[in-house]
A and B are shown apart, each in its own frame.
Chain A
Amino acid sequence: MRTEPAGGVVGLLPPERITVAYPLTMTNEFGGIVVEGVARSFGSVQAIRDIDFEAPPGEVTALIGPNGSGKTTLMLIMASLLAPDLGTVRVAGFDPATQPAEVRSRVGWMPDTLGVWDSLTAREVLRTLGALYGLSPADCSRRADELLLTVRLTEFGRQPARVLSRGQQQRLSLARALIHDPQVLLLDEPASGLDPGSRVELRTLLRSLAAQGKTVVVSSHVLSELDEIADRAVFVNRGQSVKTQTLDEAGSQARRYYVQAQPMSALAEALRSYGVRFETRGDSRREEFLVQLGSTAEASWLLRTLVMSDVVVTAFAPAGGALEETYMSLDTDRL
């Protein structure tokens, strides 16, 4: 399920960046994002108290947190739209507060709101934005056509944007963020409104962008989605960064599995005899048991053991994604 670690990506970086062979998650002034001790308040509301955040180039970093935890505010700060009250921010090596033009030319930002110029065609939107990033008219047209193809909107290229469905507008918004081939991508809830097919495509696209050495930051609530896209995750809550973890770490942590068997009584008996503690899952229609297992090795041992002792196991799977497990284990307030 997990894809590659990002080590091999170094060789794909543009030549000027391969001066040093970076360790896996190295971020320096040439790429990636480093946020340290950032705080920002709006009047009396402290949107961000203290966030540390790091997104290395060549990886997809997930920004995870409940509603109102400061994700979008952090995105706005990194996109050079909002100045932090405290702390330092480096995006692709530049400070968004003092060198916004440098940052903007290197950052693609996809907001969580859909801003649509109703009467413009998809192609015109992309060409206009390209021009506003300083692309030549020829480059604008070429990039627009490429990106329409990438997000499968070519057939809508000549239609006004108002005929697009929400998911299609979301894809147009993604294409817009990519128009100037940015080194850093900031995507705020990119998967919301997408159908399953488009989600798979988004995943593939983001993986290939990361493989090109770009820094990709994704905020989302769909944790199972992020499991498959992200290399690392930063959890924020109440304006503070709570935990940073790579997906490898998340995968190897203790997690819960649910087990079903035919009949369940045989399973209960077997589990008891091996001293495995279990509970009956309460939030599901079917009857199933939840067991807490320390590692994937332990899980495979239990499955093998159960099968060997002639328990008819009909289902054996992680109860949630790795990130969901971390998310639930954190002391978060869910509003």
Chain B
Amino acid sequence: MSTLTEPSMPQPVRRATELRFLTAVRTVFALEMKQRLRGKGWYWMLGTWFVVIAFIFVLATGLLGTTDNEGGILFDLIVGFVLFFGLLVSPGLSANAVNGDRAGGTLAILQVTLLTPGQLLMGKWLASWVGSLAFLIVSSPFIFWALALGGVSAQEALVSLLMLALELAVVCALGVGISALANRPLFSIVSTYMLVALLAIGTLIVFGLSTMLVMERHIMTVSSYSYPEGSFDSMGVPEEGAELECLTHTYESEVPRTEYITWILAANPFVVVADAVPYSTEGLPDESASASPQAAYLTDGPYYTPGVMETISQGVRSAQAGPDFEQTCEESQQALRPLPQGMPIWPLGLGIQVALAAGLLLLARRKLTMPARRLAQGTRIA
């Protein structure tokens, strides 16, 4: 063999030492999406999702047929359900993003290119987010159906869907971050589920237990309308023409000062979505309708019937308001009226979630930065 072999070509490739951020993220995103779109698993999950949500929807439609605010309740139900299922699906789509590649031997091949850990994580996160959003899109027929029934303002619908998408993004970020930190896919998926459960259920449990800590003895003054004693006949029915009167009684009781601990609920994904949505209160009996004591009993106009998410929103608002030490007779008439929003709590919750996700992603970025100085026991780079 001769030494003087022709060089096959002049140096054809201009040597870059860094990638444009968008190009790099797009390449990783495309790599992930191609694999997802060509696999069967994702389609099966989408199909199952569609069937389940259709089942729930049809069931709910049948049950709610006679209720006011049917569109609103159905829409609320779909949002709550998509959020619930999204919290179940997103960890599955995101939490093996990095260590799955490590197990498959492809991570090191990416790490030895000019791709930076930040670009890698960004691309993986976007891909799993888009994968999760597909579940939202598959639910869209039911969302539109519920919207078509009326009773939901455009603002309410838009904010609901936007917050849903945001929550999925947060969960995907948690999953991708954990997948880079944990060595095995199984471990990272379970960890992500635990973290999501901590947010969705753990906050509720901690809130419930914490009420014990904020118990206070307080003098309660409760007033309510009632018929005067002696105006009832032998059957216990008030006599004709009897007037309702405002009766007040006072007692001492232990009450939880929930306003001190409502912040615990802030990071709950359901609370974040519910609290952010501006539920419309139009068409409800207004203050004047209940001005006279009798009116409250007699009104047969639209009642206030909140859906699932709106109930959560109301629950948080009443927890924020804390116990009412002095209930007047007027207030007792308004038990079924929506509470107005005081201090919105969702920015705090979303802030906590984003900080958590960002922290995990930063740790992940550090872990993926090569050359590695420390390796976890039992891991191989390639």
Contact = CB atoms under 8 A, between A and B. Distances in A.
Interface string B74-112: 000000000000000000000000000000111111111
Interface in B328-366: none
A197 interface: no
Contact of B31 (A83, A105, A109, A120): A120
Nearest to B27: A131
Interface residues of A, dominant DSSP: mixed
Interface stretch (A74-82, A243-251, A272-280): A74-82
A260 B253 CA distance: 109
Interface stretch (B11-19, B191-199, B215-223, B319-327): B11-19
Contacts of B298: none
Contacts of B30: 128
B244 interface: no
A155 to B, nearest CB: 20
B205 interface: no
B52 interface: no
Interface in A160-179: 160, 176
A11 to B, nearest CB: 8
Nearest to B39: A119
Contact of B105 (A107, A113, A139): A113
A227 to B, nearest CB: 15
Contacts of B377: 42-43
Contacts, number: 139
A238 interface: no
Central interface residue in A83, A131, A181, by most chain B CB within 10 Å:
A131
B66 interface: no
B38 interface: yes
Interface size band for A: 35 or more
Interface stretch (A1-9, A263-271, A286-294, A322-330): A1-9
B99 to A, nearest CB: 13
A114 interface: yes
B371 A7 contact: no
Interface stretch (A29-37, A206-214, A303-311): A206-214
Contact of A111 (B13, B35, B109, B371): B109
Interface in A63-87: 72, 76-77, 79-83
B7 A12 contact: yes
A129 B19 CA distance: 12
Contacts of B112: 79-81, 104, 107, 109
A139 B110 CA distance: 19
Nearest to B19: A134
A157 to B, nearest CB: 15
Contacts of B8: 208, 212
B117 to A, nearest CB: 11
A117 interface: yes
A133 B372 CA distance: 20
Contact of A104 (B23, B39, B114): B114
A131 B119 CA distance: 13
A132 B108 contact: no
Contacts of B288: none
B104 A100 contact: no
Contacts of B108: 81, 111, 115
Contact of B106 (A9, A43, A117, A134): A117
Contacts of B34: 119-120, 124
B201 to A, nearest CB: 36
A134 B110 CA distance: 13
B109 A82 contact: no
A143 B13 contact: yes
Nearest to A80: B371
Given A97-B371, A113-B105, A132-B115, A211 B5 contact: yes
Contacts of B114: 101, 104-105, 132-134
Interface of A: 3-4, 6-9, 11-12, 14, 42-43, 72, 76-77, 79-83, 96-97, 100-102, 104-107, 109, 111-120, 124, 128-129, 131-135, 139, 142-143, 160, 176, 180-181, 207-208, 211-213
Interface of B: 1-5, 7-8, 10-13, 15-19, 23-24, 27, 30-31, 34-35, 38-39, 104-115, 370-373, 375, 377, 381-382
Nearest 8 interchain pairs by C-beta: A134-B16, A115-B105, A8-B3, A132-B113, A115-B106, A119-B38, A83-B371, A111-B382
11 contacts: A12-B4, A12-B5, A42-B375, A81-B108, A83-B371, A100-B370, A101-B114, A120-B31, A129-B109, A132-B110, A160-B38
